[in-house]
Amino acid sequence: MKWIISKVLILTDYTPTCLLRSELLDNLLPKTTTFFGYARTNMTVFQLREKCHSYMKVKPDEQKKYEEFWKLNHYVSGMYDSQNGFEVLNNELRKYEQNYQVAHRLFYLALPPSVFESVTVHIRNVCMGDNVVIWRRSNLPYRSLSGQRDGSLRFGNRIFGPTWNRDNIASVQITFKEPFGTQGRGGYFDEFGIIRDVMQNHLLQILSLVAMEKPASCHPDDIRDEKVKVLKSIKPLVLEDVVLGQYIGNLESNDSDAQLGYLDDPTVPAGSNTPTFALAVLRINNERWDGVPFILKCGKALNEQKAEVRIQYRDVPGDIFDGKAKRNELVIRVQPGEALYIKMMTKSPGITFDMEETELDLTYGYRYKHLKLPDAYERLILDVFCGSQMHFVRNDELSEAWRIFTPLLHRIEKEKIKPIPYEYGSRGPKEADEMAKSNNFLYYGSYKWVKP
């Protein structure tokens, strides 16, 4: 007998339902899908819709499907530390599942660490009935890499493979920058800080994809096997290889938000030492990467929004250009605007023999003008519906990631390490640039890629 499956997505806390809009527009959602939001805030679906509306650009011909999407949404308010709310949630779910022999429930948890244990316990005790199949996935919230996704850039092109090693690469920098602060949610952010929020998961997962050996196949387990091998080759981080920062207000700015520092947020505990910026240098102790620093950098209230991988090649040996030749770089840009470009030196136009920096550029929005590029979380949730585990963290990956970062986090908390102040809208602490330079990453400041 063919089972009719009802998939129920449980959205908690601040996870925006609007991330799934494109799945509906592209007819990728199973017809029996229903969405339930569960959070502490007492609000209606209409209020949730109003909250999300500004982020959802709806074209005139999409209005009908937009309305259909919201009809699939429901909301239950309840506490995270009380079983009563989850009993109400479970009863509501059953109303929409009673016509099906089997119901598949996907729980998508966007929660602060302090309530994760209680929520998962209540879900286990209350929300798993006899006719319910639970889809369990560990969320891997890194932004999918254009070109690098599934290893196609490196393993599908002969031109890159032979130079992807310590003989040719000077350093690798993986960056995630945000041009805004905590925006009134500092109390939530203060529970974990920038290392747990971005570096330990987003950036470390990208590092493992960049550095892994060629897998036996494209099967998810083969890929994750190679990622784990990379993580096992990294020693635990020490404080001496880390720069921590916390943003302060820029009183000269015309932006009222920029005039406020992290500690000016009324939801942040007074005197908090929680870092809003971190740079860490990791080293992979294997034959391919021995001696190549991997620099992870992330922060809030910086000078731009950017997420990218920057692979910087070694200096040209036997320089005949009197030091004018700058390093080649392969850049995988995730945002703003997915792109892949190679920074290179060429002769400038004209009769003189001058050199300038330019690029070979694949900007996805320019090359694929008529295609919609899905959001990373749209891809992630669609992968769940399709049963693909390629972009999800496996238990041994998670264990290795915490092995690398836990000693550092414990020391920061035990010794109450004070972060270095940096101005809102700056590049971050100058000590971070100095550490990157001392680890073979050269920042010239003379070149900026311009999105076409």
Based on its alpha-carbon atoms, the radius of gyration of the chain, rounded to whole angstroms, reads 24
Alpha helix (H) ranges present in 17-82?
21-25, 45-53, 63-71
Amino acid at residue number 329: E
Measured distance CA(190)–CA(112) in Å, rounded: 10
Beta bridge partners of 344: 358
Measured distance CA(169)–CA(171) in Å, rounded: 6
Q: Judge if the upstream peptide bond of residue 113 is cis by omega within 30 degrees of 0.
A: no
CB 174, CB 371: distance < 8 Å: no
CB 163, CB 286: distance < 8 Å: no
The DSSP code for 41 is S
Strands (DSSP E) found in 336-410: 339-347, 355-363
Residue among 50, 44, 49, 40 nearest 81 (CA): 40
Residue among 101, 29, 36 nearest 65 (CA): 29
Measured distance CA(291)–CA(131) in Å, rounded: 54
**Element at 87 (helix H, strand E):** helix 83-97
CB 397, CB 224: distance < 8 Å: yes
CA–centroid distance for 126 within its chain:
31
Q: What is the pTM for the complete model shown?
A: 0.86
Q: Among all chains, which residue has been given the structure tokens 């502490």?
A: 40
Q: Among all chains, which residue has been given the structure tokens 């020490």?
A: 238
Mapped onto helix, strand or coil, the DSSP state of residue 32 is coil
How many Cα neighbours within 13 Å face the side chain of 119?
21
Measured distance CA(331)–CA(403) in Å, rounded: 29
What are the catalytic residues? 202
Measured distance CA(341)–CA(154) in Å, rounded: 14
Distances (CA, A) of 210 to 38, 150, 161, 366, 439: 36, 10, 12, 25, 18
- Burial (CB < 10 A; 0-12, 13-18, 19+), residue 450, is exposed
* β-strands 329-335, 306-313 pairing: antiparallel
Measured distance CA(355)–CA(99) in Å, rounded: 71
Walk along the chain (452 residues) and give the pLDDT tens digit of each residue. Answer: 333 445 555 555 544 444 455 566 677 777 788 888 888 889 998 998 888 887 777 888 888 888 888 888 899 999 999 999 999 999 998 888 887 777 788 888 877 778 889 998 998 898 886 666 656 554 444 444 444 555 788 899 999 999 999 999 999 999 999 999 998 788 889 988 999 989 998 899 999 999 999 999 988 899 999 999 999 999 999 999 999 999 999 988 988 889 999 999 999 999 999 999 999 999 999 999 999 999 999 999 999 999 999 999 999 999 888 888 899 999 999 888 888 999 999 888 888 778 888 889 998 888 888 877 777 777 777 777 777 777 778 889 999 999 999 999 999 999 999 999 999 999 999 999 999 999 999 988 777 777 66
Which pLDDT score is estimated for 209? 93
The encoded tokens of residue 376 equal 């990373």
The encoded tokens of residue 90 equal 């479970």
**What domains lie within the chain, and their CATH numbers?**
5-135 (3.40.50.720), 149-438 (3.30.360.10)
Which pLDDT score is estimated for 132? 64
